[in-house]
């Protein structure tokens, strides 16, 4: 049985040579050889059997807001959670969230329920699962501040696991979640607060984002901030604001953002990332760490 025959024999919703540009906020990048949408544990088991049978690497994606996939694409199995994993359940101060749920929705729903502590996430256009993986954060907080535990499926042993926040070793924009592990849901513990106060904070954060960050095709901060300074400041000091390579440019509004162009090239974004790293190292001595997840590049 070849790959296509195998897929056709499963219940999986799958696509072949599926453009990743439509799933990534950079809006560029090549196709995933195989793409499946997961709506049940049974789907997970079948996806695992497929990946294993044909020795395919796996790539979990959420909302693609921190991903850059090379123009040549990804020669493996890309996995995204479907509607069954899009939910917010509030029980007192404990909030259980499906991993594909959009963070701004979690922020707004918890604020409206009179819970406080997750307002910061209104400006982060990712999924809950991606946010756990990255330990996303902002405005003085991060996922680690409120996470109780996660429920995940591990493609290496085919089992479901519940891991506590401590076991995930959440650090600055990092966690111990492996490439084979797919977060399915997470539980957060928030504080009781005033809905009107939380909603006001959300409005202020939205306003702040609009005035400080660019819109368009980008994936937020490209580089993590080095200890004691900001990547945006270093890039700006090197005179790189507005610097363009092919179809990718350093944002004029925020030097740590790269803007891609519609119908542009992921490889141009990658070349620009490499250029920024070289210039910043040569001129300031700082070695920038790329925060964006790079897929399919050497
Ligand atoms: C305009 C803009 C502003 C941003 N601002 C911020 C900010 O303030 N703070 C911040 O931290 N980030 C910010 N980001 C980056 C991004 O939104 C976060 O990193 C977000 O958490 C990524 O979530 P995602 O669902 O889009 O993940 P993706 O980009 O799809 O994936 C990111 C990583 O997570 C993994 N992953 C995704 N889903 C799962 C899952 N269910 N299980 C296991 N692994 C998974 C992927 O394999 C990949 O390694 C910003 C991005 C944009 C475009």
Asked whether residue 298 carries a pLDDT value surpassing 90, the answer given is no
8 Å CB contact between 51 and 77: yes
Same domain for 100 and 190? yes
Does residue 277 have its Cβ closer than 6 Å to ligand 1? Answer: no
218 located within any domain = no
8 Å CB contact between 259 and 249: yes
Q: Which two tokens stand for residue 15?
A: 């696509």
**Mean pLDDT computed over 47-69:** 97
**Mean pLDDT computed over 161-178:** 97
Asked whether residue 201 carries a pLDDT value surpassing 90, the answer given is yes
Same domain for 175 and 112? yes
Distance, CA of 173 to CA of 293 (rounded, Å): 11
CATH, residue 45: 3.30.43.10
Same domain for 246 and 208? no
Distance, CA of 36 to CA of 44 (rounded, Å): 10
Cα(129) to ligand 1 centroid in Å equals: 8
Does residue 73 have its Cβ closer than 6 Å to ligand 1? Answer: no
Q: Which two tokens stand for residue 174?
A: 């990092």
pLDDT tens per residue across span 148-169: 999 999 999 999 999 999 999 9
CATH, residue 262: 3.90.78.10
Cα(291) to ligand 1 centroid in Å equals: 10
CATH, residue 120: 3.30.465.10
Residues of the chain with pLDDT > 70, as a percent, come to 100
Same domain for 198 and 115? yes
Closest CA to 15 of 78, 73, 105, 70: 78
Does residue 258 have its Cβ closer than 6 Å to ligand 1? Answer: no
8 Å CB contact between 20 and 68: no
Q: What is the mean pLDDT of the chain?
A: 97
**Mean pLDDT computed over 102-111:** 98
Exactly one of 27, 108, 133, 173 is catalytic; name it: 173
Distance, CA of 100 to CA of 121 (rounded, Å): 14
pLDDT tens per residue across span 238-290: 999 999 999 999 999 999 999 999 889 999 999 999 999 999 999 999 999 99
Same domain for 79 and 91? no
226 located within any domain = no
Does residue 130 have its Cβ closer than 6 Å to ligand 1? Answer: yes
252 is an active site residue: no
Count of beta carbons in the 10 Å neighbourhood of residue 49 = 14
Strand, coil or helix: 254: coil
Same domain for 261 and 165? no
Whole-angstrom CA distances from 179 to 61, 136, 192, 293 are: 10, 17, 35, 11
Same domain for 92 and 173? yes
Domain count, the chain: 3
**Of 20, 23, 59, 61, best ligand 1 pocket probe by most atoms within 8 Å of the beta carbon:** 61
> Which residue has the least CA distance to atom 37 on ligand 1?
130
Residues of the chain with pLDDT > 90, as a percent, come to 99
220 located within any domain = no
Indicate the residue among 212, 245, 260 that finishes a domain: 212
> Which residue has the least CA distance to atom 34 on ligand 1?
130
Cα(290) to ligand 1 centroid in Å equals: 13
Exactly one of 37, 65, 127, 291 is catalytic; name it: 291
222 located within any domain = no
Does residue 60 have its Cβ closer than 6 Å to ligand 1? Answer: yes
Q: What's the gap between Cα 159 and its chain centre?
A: 23
8 Å CB contact between 259 and 214: yes
Does residue 183 have its Cβ closer than 6 Å to ligand 1? Answer: yes
Same domain for 78 and 27? yes
Same domain for 109 and 58? no
Q: Which two tokens stand for residue 237?
A: 């000091």
In which domain, by residue range, is 260 found?
A: 231-295
Indicate the residue among 212, 242, 270 that finishes a domain: 212
Same domain for 261 and 187? no
Cα(204) to ligand 1 centroid in Å equals: 22
Same domain for 199 and 96? yes
Strand stretches in the chain, DSSP E: 13-19, 31-38, 58-61, 67-69, 74-81, 88-91, 94-98, 115-116, 137-138, 141-142, 147-154, 159-164, 181-189, 191-192, 244-245, 248-250, 258-259, 293-295
225 located within any domain = no
Q: What's the gap between Cα 25 and its chain centre?
A: 10
Cα(1) to ligand 1 centroid in Å equals: 36
Torsion of Cα atoms, 177 then 175 then 21 then 7, to 10°: 0
211 is an active site residue: no
202 located within any domain = yes
8 Å CB contact between 179 and 171: no
Does residue 24 have its Cβ closer than 6 Å to ligand 1? Answer: no
pLDDT of residue 262: 82
Strand, coil or helix: 23: helix
Same domain for 205 and 113? yes
Cα(126) to ligand 1 centroid in Å equals: 5
pLDDT tens per residue across span 207-239: 999 999 999 999 999 999 999 999 999 999 999
């Amino acid at each position: 049985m070849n790959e296509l025959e195998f897929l056709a024999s499963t219940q999986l919703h799958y696509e072949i040579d599926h453009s990743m540009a439509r799933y990534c906020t950079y809006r560029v990048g090549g196709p995933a050889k195989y793409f499946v949408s997961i709506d049940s544990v049974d789907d997970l088991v079948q996806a695992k059997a497929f990946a294993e049978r044909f020795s395919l690497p796996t790539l979990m994606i959420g909302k693609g807001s921190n991903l850059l996939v090379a123009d040549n694409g990804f020669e493996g199995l890309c996995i995204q959670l479907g509607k069954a994993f899009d939910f917010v359940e509030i029980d007192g101060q404990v909030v259980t969230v499906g991993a594909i749920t959009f963070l701004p929705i979690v922020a707004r729903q918890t604020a409206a329920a009179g819970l406080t502590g997750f307002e910061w996430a209104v400006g982060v256009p990712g999924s809950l699962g991606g946010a756990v993986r990255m330990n996303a954060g902002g405005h003085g907080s991060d996922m680690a501040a409120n996470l109780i535990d996660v429920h995940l499926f591990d493609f290496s042993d085919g089992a479901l696991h519940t891991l506590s926040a401590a076991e995930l070793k959440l650090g600055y924009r990092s966690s111990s979640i492996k490439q084979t592990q797919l977060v399915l849901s997470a539980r957060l513990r928030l504080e009781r607060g005033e809905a009107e106060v939380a909603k006001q904070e959300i409005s202020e954060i939205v306003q702040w984002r609009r005035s400080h960050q660019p819109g368009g095709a980008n994936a937020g901060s490209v580089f993590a901030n080095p200890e004691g300074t900001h990547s945006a400041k270093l890039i700006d000091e090197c005179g790189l604001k507005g610097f363009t390579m092919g179809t990718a440019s350093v944002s004029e509004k925020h030097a740590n953002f790269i803007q891609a162009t519609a119908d542009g090239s992921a490889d141009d974004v990658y070349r620009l990332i490499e250029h920024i790293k070289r210039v910043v190292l040569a001129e300031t001595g700082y070695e920038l760490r790329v925060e964006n997840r790079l897929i399919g590049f050497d």
